Each structure stands twice: as C-alpha cells, then as structure tokens.
Structure 1
Amino acid sequence: MNFVEIRVPSALCPVRIDQYLATLKEPEISRSYAAKLLKEERILLNGKPAKASTKLKAGDVLSLDLPAPVALDVEPEDIPLDIIYEDQDVLIVNKPKGMVVHPAAGHAQGTLVNAVMYHCGSELSSINGVMRPGIVHRIDMNTTGLLVVCKNDQAHKSLAAQLKVHSITRRYVAIVIGNLREDEGTVDAPLGRSKKDRKKQAIDELNGRPAVTHYHVLERFGGAYTLVQCTLETGRTHQIRVHMASIGHPLLGDEVYGPKKCPFDLEGQCLHAQVLGFIHPRTGEYVEFSSPYPAYFEELLTKLRNKYNS
C-alpha cells in the first residue's frame, strides 16, 4: 500500500475532488482511476470517505490509500497487427473490427493488448499500474481504425496531456441513417453513464462531462443514409454514436443506440477512426497518420452508391 496525504491549495478551489486529483503530477491519477478509488473508499476527505462530486475548499486534507500496482496477468499472443508506424516511443496500429482493445470480463484473450505485448515485449508504458500497458485511448470493439500505443512512460504522459487539453487530431468517418439537413454542424452535449442502462452512455446536462463532436457531410445516399466525417473535440465513451443518435441520425449497424434491425449484414456500427495526429513526444513535431476505409466499409459504400446514386 502507498499512503499519501495532500492539503488542498486555495488557488484551485472550489473544484470537484475527481477533477483536482486528475491535476496532480505525483501521484499521477486519471479521473477514471480516481473514480475507482473513491468507489472503494480509498480516498478520505478530512478523515471521512469522500465523494467525487464534493467541492474542495482551501485547506481540506485528502488522504489517499493507493493499492500496490497489480501485476499484469495477460498473456502475450502472436496476433497479426496492422502497423501503420513504429518508433522507439509510439506504435500506431490500425485496429480491425471485432477486436477488443484491452482485456475485460468475457475478453481475456485476443485483445489488442495481448497482441501488442507479444510485439513489443517489455517496451510498454505502465502509467497507474493498470491492466492496459501502453494504452492511452481506446475505440469500441466494432469500431475500426487508428490507435496510438505508448512504449514508455514519457510518451504516455505526453499523449495523455495532449488528450486532456483536446489537442490530438481525431477524425472518424461514419455512415448514419437518414439525410442530414445541413452539410455540417456541431453537437455540443455533455455525456455520462445512462441512468436507465449502466452499459450505455447518455446525454446528461446536469452531471455529464463536456463532449463536442463536429460533423461534415461527405456523401448522401438518397434520403436513406449519409456518409459523414466526425471530428472529436473531446473523446468520451461512445461519443460519436450517442451524439449522432441524439440528432436523429444513429450510425448504421449500431444496435445499441439505433434500430435493432439492420438491412445489411453488419457487425456493429459503421465507424472508422481514419485520421490521428499529435505532437510527437520526443521530437516535438506534429505527426499525422491516416487509414483507408476497411473492406466492409468500401463494400457497403459501393452497394449504397449503386442503389441510390447510380
């Protein structure tokens, strides 16, 4: 165990406990990790179990009972990776549809982490002692496209800081249901866990975290479907899926936030992480990578063009 006591400075007050903890450099704690510690009552505020929503005041004392880092119990697996770029600091991978990013209940094997561990060996960051070596951000199992994996803690800290200030370029392409009225627009709606279904995300104006998605129409297919480019200003769980559904245009194939039945034989939502750009942690220069449409996406576009635009 690692016990840490912190006296809150006046400069940052008032501020929520989870937000304050995420600003610390030592110990380094993400908001998600802070939420876990709070749930387990490992964080005390002035000697009493703390709640994430509590606003801190100058002079408050936080006592943190940090568990020892959990040994990673994940086996490396020789799974082929579509590597777009690699150097001593980062690995850019083009994730296929159906692959889970990191191990979880029901997905202990066959994940991107299993594959990356085999490819990189011990060259992976270990920030927070979590069960996700090298993973700074993730995309859903049935979303394809680009992910950056960090090979050391310095790279991880740099990329995490860029994510925090929303400076990383992340552009997706999606096929949505219906015909968008405007050629472009922005959905600015905070997201949080759904109170009706804990497995889903929902717009939560009161307690949700800020979420902004910019969309731009690339191609229309009659009045039935639209190909759009979505640029993330923030990166919340299921953000594009929830935001597009909220304006009446859920992603084609998304049975969670859209219709339960799909007229095409699809495996989940039509969503592809096409462009990823960031400041390289070692060189300080901006780098950008792109990924072509996956085969299923191209085939579907051909079908839609033949049916609606021929």
Structure 2
Amino acid sequence: MSRPDSIRFETRVEQDASRLDSLASREFELFNRSQFKQRVLQAYLNGKKAKASSSVKAGDLLCIDYLPEVQVSLEPQAMELNVIFENADVLVVNKPRGLVVHPGAGNPDGTLVNGFLHHCLHGSRLGPTQINSAQSNSDPINNPQSNSNQMKSSPGGEKSGPPGSAGDGEFRPGIVHRLDKDTSGVIILAKNSSALEHLSSQFRNRETRKQYTAIVEGVFSGPLQGDIKGYIRRRDRQRILFCHDDSQGKAAHTSYRVLDQNRETGTSLVALSPHSGRTHQLRVHMQHIGHPIAGDPLYNRKRYTHPLMLHARSLRILLPGEDTPRLFTADIPEDMIKTSEACGLNIRLAETDR
C-alpha cells in the first residue's frame, strides 16, 4: 500500500526496456536512476510487484509509487573557507576536495553553499551589502604587480546559474558554476542577483578562461598538446556515467598541454582547459584519449590509495564594475603535491604555468 504522501505514476509502456529503473528515469524522467532505491516505495508490472532490474515489454502496464523530491532548505552553517578574494559582489574560494558545492540528494547540508551563507551573514569581516573593497590574492590580467537553484552544474562539470535582475544590491547568494565533489580548486560565488547575472553571462558566452591541473595515466607518445572535440552523452547502461561520442550528445571541447611526464612511473602532469561545461567533461575526455586521471573512481579502472588528482588551478573572469579581467589562482593541495613527488613529476611547472 502506498503512503499518503506518495505519488502514483501509471502508464502503458510503448517500447521494450532492459531495466525498469532505466525506463523510469530516461523515458518518463520521474527522477534520476540513482534515486530509484531512495524514492520508490513499490513498482508494479501488470499488477505484480517488480524490481528495479525487471525487464519491461511494450504493452506492459507500469505502476510506480514513489516519494516526492525532498525540498532542501538552505541554512547557514559555520565552516572554514579558504578565501582567495572577496568584495561586495563576489566570494572566491579554494574548494577542498570532498566538499559538495550545494545541497541535493544525499547531501542535505554541510555544503559549500551552507558555508557561504554563514560566511556572508556572520563570518565575513565585510558585510553582505556594505562591502566596498577587499585585499586580493588575485592577479588583474596585464597587471603582474598585483599578488596573485538560484543554482543550476562541472567540466570536471560546470554550468552557469540562472539570471538575476541587474542593478540590485540585495543579498541573494547564488552559485555561478560548480566543481565535482572530488575536484578541488577555485570557484566563484555571487552575493547578489546583479553579480550572478554578470558572472553567469560570461560562462554562458564562454568568455571565462579556466585551467585545471591533473595527474594522468601514461606517457604521451604523440603531440604534447592538442584538442579533444566531439560530444558527451550518458552511457547506455550506466546512466550516472558519461562517455565520448563522435556524433551524439552535447558538444564538448577540451585543450590539453603536457607539462611533465615520467616514463618510469608511467604518469604525466597536464594542464587542461575546458571550452565547454559538460558534466565530468575533463574526466571523460582524458579517458577517451587513453590517459585517465589518476585516482578517478569512475573513469579509471586502476585502483589507487589516493583521491582524484584533478585541481581547478585558475579562473579568469571580469568582476562587476571592473574593466579588466582578474586571474584567480588556487594553491595545489598538499596530497596532490605528494602524489606528484611519488610519480616523479615536477608540480612546480603547474604552479608557474598560466
């Protein structure tokens, strides 16, 4: 028997499907396939109980009792943030690996957004609406004397947030782009809707410049720099994963440069620049060319004791009210430095590379 707060979906299936959960997520878009176990109370085929793995035939009567999506309320939570730059409109931080950017299924709180809210409302030395200037660890482009939802997804995947109204100073924080949980590095957050639109438009129009540092498998026998172009789509069977495709999916483009490599350890240090913002883009592209990122639990079959070796090293973007883009850089995490040393790679080449 279904619960009073559950939703019943019932339909006559028009085509065969290898799995019931895949059909529910892909064809009917009820929820992500990964949410099936958490949200489905019971599924039925032709009046009989069915499992997620049950095959479905055209003409079958499918009935699913499932729970509505939990609405997450954003609450400020105290959190230590590694602040790179801050002013009245934006906060730029070096996100640690393991920190989820925003609340969602399985991560209702303890996210960067929760910490961002607390920082702006309670922790910032600068008030949320009265900030005029701040000391910066960023480099304005061409000025080397300087030191270096409302939310929608990261190439390692990134997508811009929705527009806000221009010209307001209301404190309304928003995520401009995202980084995967396992990816560390620079990320920029907007404090008001005017700043959100200003920054988001640059991501939409591909006017930003992002560079990642990664340790990957193998030594490059071909060119030490190049471009990976094509399309990225979900895999046919493992729907939570993505793959490169020559003709189907969403267009994706990544440039790569080899900074160092070591034949004895069979590893390379590379700089990656995504020109589009597809989910898992860098991870999929490096796997596609035969150099999966070290420590990648999804796209690298080799098992590691260390985590994903992918770091968002820098972001070039024009801030609201400024005429010259700034270049923000995030220090490489200590575990990545140690891994590079164990691999015989010179991580300093990534630190000085722009």
Q: Which of 189, 195, 198 matches 1:158?
A: 198
Q: Which of 239, 263, 285 matches 1:198?
A: 239
Give 2:80's aligned residue.
80
Cα-Cα RMSD:
2.7
Give 1:91's aligned residue.
91
Answer yes or no: is the 8 Å Cα contact 1:168–1:278 preserved in 2: yes
Identity %: 35
Answer yes or no: is the 8 Å Cα contact 1:177–1:252 preserved in 2: yes
Residue 71 to residue 107, structure 1, CA distance change in 2 (3 Å): closer
Secondary structure at 1:210's aligned position in 2?
A: strand
Q: Which of 309, 312, 317 matches 1:278?
A: 317
| Cα distance in 1 between the residues matched to 2:210 and 2:267 | 23
**Structure possessing the higher radius of gyration over alpha carbons:** 2
Give 2:229's aligned residue.
188
* Superposed displacement of residue 83, structure 1: 0.4
Alignment of 1:303 with 2:342, yes or no, is yes
Q: Which runs of 5+ in 1 are unaligned?
A: 1-37, 41-69
Give 1:21's aligned residue.
none
Answer yes or no: is the 8 Å Cα contact 1:274–1:292 preserved in 2: yes
* Superposed displacement of residue 192, structure 1: 2.1
Answer yes or no: is the 8 Å Cα contact 1:170–1:232 preserved in 2: yes
| Cα distance in 1 between the residues matched to 2:249 and 2:329 | 31
Secondary structure at 1:241's aligned position in 2?
A: helix
Alignment of 1:221 with 2:265, yes or no, is no
Residue 71 to residue 196, structure 1, CA distance change in 2 (3 Å): closer
Write the letter of the residue equivalent to 1:144. S
Q: Which of 294, 300, 308 matches 2:333?
A: 294
Residue 199 to residue 214, structure 1, CA distance change in 2 (3 Å): same
Residue 281 to residue 255, structure 1, CA distance change in 2 (3 Å): same
Alignment of 1:258 with 2:297, yes or no, is no
* Number of residue-to-residue matches in the alignment: 237
Provide Cα deviations, 1:67-89, integer angstroms capped at 9, x if missing partner: xxx98602211010000000011
| Cα distance in 1 between the residues matched to 2:89 and 2:236 | 40
* Superposed displacement of residue 115, structure 1: 0.5
Provide Cα deviations, 1:56-109, integer angstroms capped at 9, x if missing partner: xxxxxxxxxxxxxx9860221101000000001111010001101111111112
| Cα distance in 2 between the residues matched to 1:119 and 1:178 | 42
Give 2:283's aligned residue.
241
Answer yes or no: is the 8 Å Cα contact 1:212–1:232 preserved in 2: yes
Answer yes or no: is the 8 Å Cα contact 1:155–1:282 preserved in 2: no
Give 2:218's aligned residue.
178
Write the letter of the residue equivalent to 1:77. Q
Answer yes or no: is the 8 Å Cα contact 2:72–2:104 preserved in 1: no
* Superposed displacement of residue 293, structure 1: 1.1
Answer yes or no: is the 8 Å Cα contact 2:186–2:329 preserved in 1: yes
Give 2:249's aligned residue.
208
* Superposed displacement of residue 133, structure 1: 4.4
* Superposed displacement of residue 284, structure 1: 3.2
Provide Cα deviations, 1:119-169, integer angstroms capped at 9, x if missing partner: 113959947599x94101101111100000011111111111111121101
Provide Cα deviations, 1:266-291, integer angstroms capped at 9, x if missing partner: 12x20000010111122232111111
| Cα distance in 2 between the residues matched to 1:115 and 1:229 | 29
TM-score by length of 1: 0.71
Write the letter of the residue equivalent to 1:110. G
| Cα distance in 1 between the residues matched to 2:300 and 2:253 | 20
Answer yes or no: is the 8 Å Cα contact 2:163–2:197 preserved in 1: no
* Superposed displacement of residue 195, structure 1: 2.2
| Cα distance in 2 between the residues matched to 1:159 and 1:243 | 26
| Cα distance in 2 between the residues matched to 1:248 and 1:150 | 37
Give 1:136's aligned residue.
176
* Superposed displacement of residue 219, structure 1: 0.8
Write the letter of the residue equivalent to 1:104. G
TM-score by length of 2: 0.62
Q: Which runs of 5+ in 2 are unaligned?
A: 1-27, 31-69, 122-126, 130-148, 151-160, 165-171, 346-354
